[in-house]
Chain A
Amino acid sequence: MTSSLALLTGSTTRRRPTLWVLVPAIVVTLCMLIPVVYLFVRAAQADVAEALDLILRQRNLDLLRNTLALTFGVLAFTTLMALPMAWLVTRTDLRWRRIVTVLAVVPLAVPGYVMAYALLGIGGNYGALARLFNIYISNIHGYWGAVAALSLYTYPYIFLNVRSALLGLDSDLEESARSLGYGRLAIARHILLPHLTPALLAGYLVVGLYVLGDFGAVALMRYEAFSYAIFNQYSGAFDRIYAAWLSIMLLALAMSFVFMEVLLVKRRRLNSVGSGSQRPAPRAKLGKLAPLAWLYVTVVVLLSVGLPVAMLSYWLLLSPPDLSVFQQVPMTFLRSASAALPAAVLAAAMALPICYLSIRHPSRLSRFMERTVYIGYALPPLTLALAMVFFALHTAFFLYQTLALLIFSWALATLALATGPIRSALIQSRPNLEEAANALGYSPAATFFHVLLPRLKQGILAAIALVFLFCMKELPITFLLAPTGFNTLAVTVFSRTSEGMMAEAAPFAAAIVLFSSLSVGMILHREKNL
């Protein structure tokens, strides 16, 4: 009765969500709080004097300054790489735009530690340049090394965001501005930039949180950021209390990024209403500037894609490893995938009730639930992993060092990634059909499986691909939580490279890049505008 009424009025907000949705959503939210609760329990084990001593160390201030400097450096560099690139592929007559677009997204498939090793391998007296061409440049490390490594593989996030914002932008707006006599620069300043800001900020948030949490690239570049200090406390000292305090400080920093983005976007979104016309924006003619544009594209692609591929080949060819090394690759890949795929499916399954609730039944509770999923993403992976180690050791020992715990932790870390595509798929599919199905006597479960799920298929697949990509490259969570002997591609690459066995690591790194590229391809394939 109530449902047919809802069908008539088209209103869904008043209806109470069924327990089928509410209960899973609450369970997911509670799961998300596990690492946070454990972090605080651990930190509270220090007595007050000890805690103050740990918090007020001069070193923490240095770490904070280093971490902030790194974040802003990376944001500046990624903007320099992503913004012109996105404009070139959406608004100019650049040739081979599709190929350039794909090449600009492929760096997502390169793990940060591989990028860092590639950078470390070129320079130095014993690096590739010195040994192949007798060119001696000093090794890049420390701050600039970390900025370079992180920028080169995170810039696609900003590129993708800006690109879709440019594609979705109402071209009528620019046209009317032009007819009113605005010049190109004025249009860029008054129309393009303000409308791109939300996309830029969203990209900045993703990249900023990545930078805070990354430890592979930072450790290899020997740059003392928070995440590296946490790893050192763990690996050299296993000091859980100091590690917990460092983690809380880093979490606070991450959450401040999240809120900053919310505040800035809220102010901006007021003037960016309207969904954009279907008419593609006119493309600027590059003319004489074309060679310059190509130079730019070539440099960015060579650095971000060419460099890691070239260094992997160099190591493989320099001292080709035993055939037996290659024979391990398929098994290791299957091992990685056998954990990453369930994690991807689990993350998508956990994202579903949360997204459904927040879109079909918006309320204060559902909004709260939707925000909690960002905890997993905002928590640096290493911190999340440490929290789960302690959780398993002290509360759920049956889970300790099991595959289930690894999969579960990956799902917690990637839930926010999974909600994105599922959320937009839900928004695009109108609720009327579900209500009609309800009115026709379909049970909630039948409605879900026969009506809703088919319409969300694309979104769910994209979510699975995103999470899969993350897990295949993921290092800290795997490192701490994987069952003994469960060496994934990422762990193998990291442990071999840290022993200086570049050639023995290269086939595994190549496998990560190859298969991650396939999931990148899947994500892009979904888009019509490519």
Chain B
Amino acid sequence: MRKSWLAAATLSASLVSGIAAANELTLYSGRGESFVQPIVNQFERDTGIKVNVRYGDTAQLALLLQEEGTRTRADLYWGQDAGAMGSLAKDGLLATLPSRVYDDLPAIYTSRTGQWVAASGRARVLTYSTERVNAADLPSSVFELTDPKYKGRLAVPPTNGGFQAFVTAMRVQHGDERTLEWLKGIRANEPVIFRNNTTSVQGIADGDVDFAIVNSYYLPRFVNADPNYPVAQTFFAAGDIGNLVNVAGIGVLAPSRNKDNAVRFIEYLLSQSAQQYFTSVINEYPVTPGVISNPVLTDLSELLVLAPEIDLDELADLPGTLRLLRDAGLM
């Protein structure tokens, strides 16, 4: 089934590749190379369009794009969270996409202005050590993590885009004051600072920390490699901001001179095979229907019950979140 689809895609692509062969796209990716490069390679094979990828952190690249302004050489930006997408859209750096790209997507997976779309969905989860944590120690709210019993046991990646978007969501739901208070409480609880989600999960396995709040798709990769990996993940109580469901978004830069090919790349990400890849290989949630679900993941319907209600378009104030993180002494 999937094979024949791929074959059809390759065939149709090879028909147009004669025209597109000379074309190149520049993609700024706030997502890691291991997630992005396989799909980019597949796109290059199928379309003959070369894609140069600049990898970095989500906030770093979003702010680099703001620094570059209209002179940017980037055609596409693929961010780890809706917040970074919103902040670029607000500054007028993203082009409006043709509506055929997002017409079929559920409303929560596109921006209202049509400037970016979600490529995949993910949830925030609490990962913990199966060796040193028992069920009674699992908090029901992310706010409980400031409790002294978690002192020195929590991993925090303040420079990570997913973490920053989660803080922005907390600000949207609970206000700046309560968020700052929480951040200061976390800081006072002497968290261990990690660079990103992967290293946070590894920190639990290595015994450096017992808990981490990360995106849902990091742990399955380790468990796939080793079924006895000593880390598990869970959700907070239903509706808690700690269970934020976020998306990885992609948009076309307004100054791009390769908009048609850039849109093609986005449509490629929304294709059945790419969505199946995100679901089965990366352990994320698909944004289009008809994808065979991944048995490792909590069912999407269950997830939607657990998730807090947040309008992803509201997660745009990245600078405000960075200010709070700094005020709390976490950056």
Contacts from A to B (Cβ < 8 Å):
59, 123-127, 138-139, 141, 219, 222, 224, 232-240, 319, 393, 397, 400-401, 483-485, 495-496, 498-501, 504
Q: List 19 additional contacts besides A125-B131, A393-B68; criterion CB under 8 Å.
A: A124-B207, A126-B206, A126-B207, A127-B206, A139-B208, A141-B208, A222-B195, A236-B57, A236-B160, A236-B322, A236-B331, A237-B59, A237-B63, A237-B159, A483-B52, A484-B28, A485-B52, A485-B53, A504-B34
Question: Among the listed B28, B67, B71, B206, which residue makes an inter-chain contact with A238, where contact means beta carbons less than 8 Å apart?
Answer: B67
How far is it, in angstroms, between the C-alpha of A500 and the C-alpha of B73 when the chains are bound?
A: 30
Give Cα A107 to B203, complex, Å: 27
Q: Which residues of A contact B202 (CB under 8 A)?
A: 126, 500
Residues in B whose Cβ lies below 8 Å from that of A495: 32-33, 55
Q: List 30 A-B contacts (CB under 8 A).
A: A124-B206, A124-B208, A125-B230, A126-B205, A127-B206, A139-B207, A222-B195, A224-B193, A232-B331, A235-B57, A236-B322, A237-B159, A237-B326, A237-B331, A238-B67, A240-B67, A393-B67, A393-B71, A397-B71, A400-B71, A401-B73, A484-B52, A484-B74, A485-B52, A496-B33, A499-B196, A500-B198, A500-B199, A500-B201, A501-B34
Segment 57-71 of B: residues with Cβ below 8 Å from A = 57, 59-60, 63-64, 67-68, 71
B interface: dominant SS: mixed
Task: Give Cα distance in the complex from A400 to B72, angstroms.
Answer: 10
CB of B127 to closest CB in A, whole Å = 13
The reply to whether B57 and A138 contact each other, CB–CB distance below 8 Å, is: no
**A125 & B206 in contact (Cβ 8 Å cutoff):** yes
* Contact indicator A125/B205 (Cβ below 8 Å): yes
Expressed in whole angstroms, the Cα–Cα distance for A232 and B164 within the complex equals: 13
Smallest distance from the beta carbon of A398 to chain B beta carbons, Å? 11
Question: Closest B-chain residue to A401, C-beta based?
Answer: B73
B205 touches A236 (CB 8 A): no
Within the complex, the shortest CB–CB distance from B17 to chain A, in Å, comes to: 20
Q: Are B33 and A238 in contact (CB under 8 A)?
A: no
B277 part of interface (Cβ distance < 8 Å):
no
Beta-carbon nearest neighbor of B157 in chain A: A236
Asked if B143 is at the interface (CB within 8 A of a chain A CB), the reply is no
How far in angstroms is the closest Cβ of chain A from B27?
8
Interface residues of B (CB under 8 A from A): 26, 28, 32-34, 52-57, 59-60, 63-64, 67-68, 71, 73-74, 131, 158-160, 164, 192-196, 198-199, 201-202, 205-208, 221-222, 225, 229-230, 322, 325-326, 329, 331
Q: A126-B202, A484-B53 are in contact. Are A238 and B64 (CB under 8 A)?
A: yes
With the chains together, A237 CA to B71 CA distance in Å? 21
- Bound complex: CA A232 to CA B57 (Å): 10
Contacts of A238 in B (CB 8 A): 59-60, 63-64, 67
User: Nearest-CB distance from B89 to chain A (Å)?
Assistant: 18
Contact of B206 with A484 in the complex, beta carbons under 8 Å: no
Q: A401 to B56, alpha carbons, bound, how many Å? A: 14
**Does A236 contact B159, Cβ atoms closer than 8 Å?**
yes
Chain B hits for A499, CB < 8 A? 32-34, 196, 198
Q: In the complex, how many angstroms separate the beta carbon of A91 from the nearest chain B beta carbon?
A: 43
B316 to chain A, nearest CB (A): 16
Contact A236-B207, Cβ < 8 Å, known A59-B329, A485-B53, A495-B33: no
B26 close to A484 (CB less than 8 A):
yes
In the complex, what distance in Å separates the CA atom of A224 from the CA atom of B329? 12
Tell me whether B331 and A222 are in contact (CB under 8 A): no
Verify B230–A235 contact, CB threshold 8 A.
Answer: no
Give the distance in Å from the alpha carbon of A483 to the alpha carbon of B73 in the complex: 11
Question: A465 vs B192: C-alpha distance in the bound complex, in angstroms?
Answer: 40
A425 to B309, CA, bound (A): 71
In the complex, which residues of chain B have a beta carbon less than 8 angstroms from the beta carbon of A393?
67-68, 71
Chain A residue nearest to B205 (CB atoms) is A126
Residues of B within 8 A of A139 (CB): 206-208
Q: A59-B329, A484-B26, A500-B199 are in contact. Are A222 and B193 (CB under 8 A)?
A: yes
Most chain B beta-carbon neighbours within 10 Å: one of A236, A483, A500 = A236
Interface centre among A124, A224, A500, A501 (most CB of B within 10 A): A500
Question: Are A138 and B64 within 8 A (Cβ)?
Answer: no
Bound form: Cα–Cα A498–B207 in Å: 18
A397 to B67, CA, bound (A): 12
| Residue of B28, B57, B229 with highest tally of chain A CB at under 10 A | B57
Residues of the B chain whose Cβ atoms lie less than 8 Å from the Cβ of A498:
195-196, 198-199
* Residues in A whose Cβ lies below 8 Å from that of B192: 222
Instruction: List, in ascending order, chain A residues with CB within 8 A of B198's CB.
Output: 498-500
The residues of B that contact A236 with a CB separation of less than 8 Å are 57, 59-60, 158-160, 164, 322, 325, 331
State which of B54, B195, B205, B329 has its C-beta within 8 Å of the C-beta of A484.
B54
A237 and B199: CB pair below 8 A? no
Which residues of the partner chain B approach A234 to less than 8 Å between Cβ atoms? 60
Compute how far the CA of A498 lies from the CA of B34 in the bound complex, rounded to whole angstroms. Answer: 11
Decide if B53 touches A496 in the complex (CB within 8 Å): no
Q: Which residues of B contact A222 (CB under 8 A)?
A: 192-195
Q: A501 CA to B221 CA in the complex, in Å?
A: 10
The 5 tightest CB contacts between A and B, nearest first, are A236-B159, A124-B206, A485-B52, A238-B63, A126-B205
In angstroms, Cα B331 to Cα A517, docked, is 38
The answer to whether residues A126 and B73 also contact, given A393-B68, A499-B198 and a CB cut-off of 8 A, is no
